[in-house]
């Protein structure tokens, strides 16, 4: 993957988040925190996992110490602010990054080395996976999730 392709994948990823944030922020605290099941019990917990995972991968990409995930999910407004900070920091960090550069990082199973492109593909596909869970969780609450798909960005 060349630099332009990498930037386009990240732009599509950020576009998808932009389609979801209004729906997430429109939830009442009770809706966001109601346990409906899934990998994480609530929309709030699923969103927190997604945002903290992106923050963690960003720190790995930048060679920084990984931030600790808070014990309890933050309100969606706080998660949105954190995601905006992560997206801005990631954009500036990736502008100078070589997609083929190898990054060595620590994770719960030890250490690993991946290219910048592989890491970007991972955190974007990770978010896609959990976005499907968010859609199911919203439907379980009787709500309509956003109808936004990756291909929609590329059709623009």
**What is the CATH classification number for the domain harbouring 72?**
1.20.120.450
Nearest to 152 by CA among 26, 2, 13, 5: 13
Domain assignment present for 29: no
- Scan for tokens 């960090």, then name that residue: 93
Check if the beta carbon of residue 81 is closer than 8 Å to that of residue 74.
no
Cα 52–chain centre separation: 8
**Two tokens at 140?**
């379980």
pLDDT at residue 36 in the model: 96
Check if the beta carbon of residue 41 is closer than 8 Å to that of residue 140.
no
Summarised one tens digit per residue, pLDDT across range 38-70 is 899 999 999 999 999 999 999 999 988 777 777
Cα 6–chain centre separation: 16
Domain assignment present for 43: yes
Domain assignment present for 34: no
Domain assignment present for 61: yes
Question: Positive or negative CA dihedral for 102, 106, 107, 110?
Answer: positive
pLDDT at residue 71 in the model: 65
Q: Which domain holds residue 67?
A: 3-24+39-155
Domain assignment present for 99: yes
In terms of pTM, does the model score above 0.85?
yes
Domain assignment present for 32: no
Domain assignment present for 87: yes
Summarised one tens digit per residue, pLDDT across range 109-121 is 999 999 999 999 9
Domain assignment present for 75: yes
Nearest to 153 by CA among 1, 55, 2, 17: 17
pLDDT at residue 131 in the model: 97
**How many CA atoms within 13 Å lie on the side-chain side of 103?**
23
Number of domains in the chain: 1
């Amino acid at each position: 993957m060349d630099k332009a392709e990498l930037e386009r994948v990240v732009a599509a990823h950020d576009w998808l988040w932009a389609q979801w944030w209004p729906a997430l922020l429109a939830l009442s605290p009770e809706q966001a925190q109601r346990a409906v099941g899934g990998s994480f019990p609530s929309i709030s917990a699923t969103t927190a996992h997604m945002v903290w995972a992106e923050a963690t991968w960003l720190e790995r990409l930048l060679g920084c110490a990984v931030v600790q995930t808070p014990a309890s999910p933050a309100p969606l407004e706080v998660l949105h602010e954190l995601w905006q900070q992560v997206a801005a920091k990631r954009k500036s960090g990736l502008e100078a990054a070589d997609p083929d550069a190898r990054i060595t990082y620590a994770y719960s199973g030890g250490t690993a080395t991946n290219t910048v492109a592989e890491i970007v593909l991972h955190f974007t596909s990770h978010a896609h996976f959990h976005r499907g869970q968010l859609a199911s969780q919203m439907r379980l609450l009787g709500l309509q999730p956003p109808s936004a798909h990756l291909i929609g960005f590329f059709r623009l």
